């Protein structure tokens, strides 16, 4: 029987949507053609090693298969690196400006609302040194912003060299640098704060404390750094960004600075930039300088700058107009129903927010709390789904849910409620190191797989009372959550190992954090103060 439905992550376009997407594509192509760029088209399929060094998003994979020569080939996830491959294997005279339009494909985790096929339209300026190439990108972005977006796009600039300047000044090893930057870039602040505690006697400690907040307007950055001294190299980079922001603002384009977020690609070597519209949870345009990319193909460095527009996001914004912007002026919080909800209400009230409507919600699932906050009640796993799709700004959810999922949100604060722990438990006489393949019952297959590592176990997913599994012979042991151990003892189960602790966390949608920066940080600071007083 013929499968009549599309695979997860794909969609058909028809009628007005398809026509508008075509209009947007043709507009961008004409814009580049009129600026004397050269059109380039590359195949949809490339050898996998063309994308060596390309950084996929968390939970993403390339569509991979074997070609006729038994070499691994992929459907391209990116359009810049194929152009690098083309230039390394031809004698095209440089410098030169190229433009393109095409689809890229990335396999995302199923059932999260992600799109696997995206149309990009962009430019690559190869062989151009100096700031003029970046200014050319900004001029194109400004033209698109004025003609298509009614000047609502915010341009965000950063520099891939800034984080290196800081970690070099700290004298970190490669492993220490990786750990620190991973916690910073993912805004995993409980872990980040733990890592920087080792530098309390270092002159850079005041900077490290505010580094996760170093994004926003020029004034936001200046205010955060008013009492901080930076290493000379980092200060020069930041001064250049400040000067550039002033030049951009003088043209009428809104601009932000961000030196706390990871560049979208590891091949960026200098200035980076992205553009977004308030209330829209995806970037419309992104790019940067990548002077070392071509050296990966022929060993010859070549100064280059490029950028790409996400045609699908741009089309959606234009199609839906103001209705696309879900921001109603309120901070929207997805709150896990039940115990997490009950524990969070007193913390929210300590911030001066009237939670009476939440205490007396009846069967309502969306509850306004005054003029500034709106709460959406949801199950734990759904909180991250709403966050990842930009439906809410913040989420309140247990770290067990975050650990089990490929979470792409920022983990900003440990609320110190709902504290318990993952454990390995079974009946008396169980041997965790027994040679045979064991059967492990759990609600948390990802955590269980991580715990056992290379040890071969069969994981049985259980949705109900996990404690039953060893009692009825379904599993040799269980990985579950316990607070006091009472249920385990009453069922004659013994704890054989303690895994990671669990507590309730405040997590943020990455773009919402930028769009509502001051509001979100004000709430986080109030919550932290309330936690410290407990």
Average pLDDT over residues 304-319: 95
Average pLDDT over residues 369-390: 92
Question: For residue range 330-343, what is the model confidence (pLDDT) as tens digits?
Answer: 899 999 999 999 99
Give the side-chain half-sphere CA count within 13 A for 431.
Answer: 5
Question: For residue range 238-276, what is the model confidence (pLDDT) as tens digits?
Answer: 999 999 999 999 999 999 999 999 988 888 999 999 999
Candidate from 55-64, 235-244, 435-444 with smallest mean pLDDT:
55-64
Which residues have C-beta within 8 Å of that of residue 425, sequence separation ≥ 6?
A: 467, 470, 477, 478, 480, 482, 488, 493, 494, 495, 496
Going by pLDDT thresholds of 50, 70 and 90, the confidence category of residue 348 is very high
Going by pLDDT thresholds of 50, 70 and 90, the confidence category of residue 210 is very high
| Sheet with 494-502: strands ordered across | 457-461, 438-442, 477-482, 420-426, 494-502
Average pLDDT over residues 28-54: 94
Mean pLDDT of the chain: 92
Candidate from 170-184, 327-341, 390-404, 448-462 with smallest mean pLDDT:
327-341
- pLDDT of 322 higher than 50: no
Question: For residue range 476-534, what is the model confidence (pLDDT) as tens digits?
Answer: 999 999 998 899 999 999 999 999 999 999 999 999 999 999 999 999 999 999 999 87
Per-residue model confidence (pLDDT) at position 505? 96
Residue with structure tokens 């980040």?
A: 192
CA pair distance 89, 354, nearest whole angstrom: 65
Rounded to 10 deg, the angle between the 311-320 and 16-34 helix axes is 120
CA pair distance 84, 296, nearest whole angstrom: 9
Candidate from 205-209, 277-281, 284-288 with smallest mean pLDDT:
277-281
Say if strands 45-47 and 72-75 run parallel, antiparallel, or are unpaired: antiparallel
* Cα–Cα separations (whole angstroms), residue 166 to 241, 349, 448: 16, 39, 36
Per-residue model confidence (pLDDT) at position 328? 57
Say if strands 271-277 and 153-159 run parallel, antiparallel, or are unpaired: antiparallel
pLDDT > 90 in the chain, percent:
79
Q: What are phi and psi of 376, to 5 degrees?
A: -115, 125
- Token pair in block for residue 275: 């553009």
Q: How many CB atoms lie within 10 A of CB 381?
A: 12
Burial profile 333-360: b = 16 or more Cβ within 10 angstroms, e = fewer: bbbbeeebbebbbebbbebebebeebee
Average pLDDT over residues 356-365: 91
Question: For residue range 141-152, what is the model confidence (pLDDT) as tens digits?
Answer: 999 999 999 999
> Which of these, 127, 515, 99, lies nearest to 309 by C-alpha position?
99
Per-residue model confidence (pLDDT) at position 323? 46
> Which of these, 291, 244, 250, lies nearest to 258 by C-alpha position?
244
Per-residue model confidence (pLDDT) at position 7? 87
CA pair distance 484, 489, nearest whole angstrom: 10
Candidate from 3-17, 22-36, 250-264, 305-319 with smallest mean pLDDT:
3-17
Per-residue model confidence (pLDDT) at position 464? 87
Please check whether residue 454 is in contact with residue 377, taking contact to mean a CB–CB distance below 8 angstroms: no
The full set of domains in the chain, from first to last, is 331-418+504-533 (3.40.190.10), 420-501 (3.40.190.10)
Per-residue model confidence (pLDDT) at position 1? 62
Please check whether residue 192 is in contact with residue 184, taking contact to mean a CB–CB distance below 8 angstroms: yes
CA terminus-to-terminus distance, the chain = 62
CA dihedral (487, 490, 493, 497) in degrees, to 10, reads 40
Query: Is 229 buried (19+), middle (13-18) or exposed (0-12) by CB count in 10 A?
Result: exposed
The total number of residues written for the chain in this structure:
534
- pLDDT of 297 higher than 90: no
Q: Where are the alpha helices (DSSP H) in 197-231?
A: 205-210, 218-224
Query: Is 466 buried (19+), middle (13-18) or exposed (0-12) by CB count in 10 A?
Result: buried
CA pair distance 529, 534, nearest whole angstrom: 9
Q: What is the DSSP letter of 437?
A: P
């Amino acid at each position: 029987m013929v499968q009549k439905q599309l695979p997860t992550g794909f969609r058909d376009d028809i009628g007005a949507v398809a026509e508008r997407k075509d209009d947007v594509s043709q507009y961008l192509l004409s814009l580049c053609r009129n600026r004397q760029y050269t059109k380039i088209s590359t195949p949809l399929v490339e050898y996998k090693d063309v994308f060596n060094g390309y950084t996929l998003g968390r939970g993403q994979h390339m569509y991979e298969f074997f070609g006729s020569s038994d070499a691994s080939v992929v459907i391209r996830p990116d359009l810049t690196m194929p152009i690098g491959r083309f230039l390394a294997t031809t004698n095209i005279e440089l410098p030169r400006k190229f433009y393109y339009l095409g689809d890229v494909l990335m396999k995302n985790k199923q059932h999260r609302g992600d799109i696997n096929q995206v149309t990009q339209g962009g430019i690559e300026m190869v062989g151009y040194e100096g700031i003029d190439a970046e200014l050319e990108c900004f001029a194109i972005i400004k033209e698109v912003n004025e003609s298509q977006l009614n000047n609502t796009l915010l341009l965000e600039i950063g520099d891939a060299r800034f984080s290196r300047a800081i970690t070099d000044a700290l004298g970190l090893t490669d492993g220490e640098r990786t750990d620190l930057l991973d916690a910073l870039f993912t805004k995993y602040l409980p872990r980040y704060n733990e890592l920087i505690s080792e530098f309390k006697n270092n002159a850079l400690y005041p900077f490290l404390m505010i580094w996760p907040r170093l994004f926003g307007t020029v004034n936001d950055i200046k205010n955060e750094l008013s009492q901080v001294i930076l290493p000379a190299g980092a200060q020069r980079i930041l001064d250049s960004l400040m000067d550039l922001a002033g030049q951009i603002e003088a043209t009428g384009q809104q601009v932000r600075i961000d030196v706390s977020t990871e560049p979208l690609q590891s091949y960026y070597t200098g200035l980076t930039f992205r553009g977004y519209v308030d209330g829209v949870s995806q970037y419309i345009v992104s790019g940067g300088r990548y002077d070392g990319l071509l050296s990966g193909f022929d060993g010859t460095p070549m100064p280059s700058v490029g950028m790409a527009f996400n045609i699908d996001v741009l089309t959606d914004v234009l199609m839906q107009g103001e209705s696309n912007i879900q921001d109603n002026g309120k901070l929207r919080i997805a709150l896990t129903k039940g115990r997490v909800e009950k524990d969070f209400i007193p913390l929210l009230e300590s911030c001066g927010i009237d939670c009476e409507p939440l205490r007396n919600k009846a069967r309502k699932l969306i509850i306004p709390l005054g003029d500034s906050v709106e709460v959406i009640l949801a199950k734990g796993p759904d909180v991250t789904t709403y966050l990842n799709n930009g439906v809410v700004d913040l989420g309140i959810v247990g770290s067990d849910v975050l650990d089990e999922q490929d979470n792409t949100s920022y983990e900003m604060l440990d609320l110190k409620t709902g504290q318990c722990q993952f454990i390995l438990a079974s009946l008396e006489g169980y041997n965790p190191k027994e040679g045979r393949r064991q059967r492990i019952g759990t609600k948390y297959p990802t955590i269980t797989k991580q715990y056992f590592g290379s040890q071969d176990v069969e994981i049985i997913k259980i949705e109900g009372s996990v404690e039953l599994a060893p009692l009825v012979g379904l599993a040799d042991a269980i990985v579950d959550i316990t607070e006091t151990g009472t249920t385990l003892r009453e069922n004659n189960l013994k704890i054989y190992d303690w895994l990671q602790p669990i507590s309730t966390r405040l997590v943020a949608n990455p773009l919402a954090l930028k769009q509502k920066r001051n509001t979100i940080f004000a709430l986080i600071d109030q919550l932290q103060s309330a936690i410290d007083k407990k």
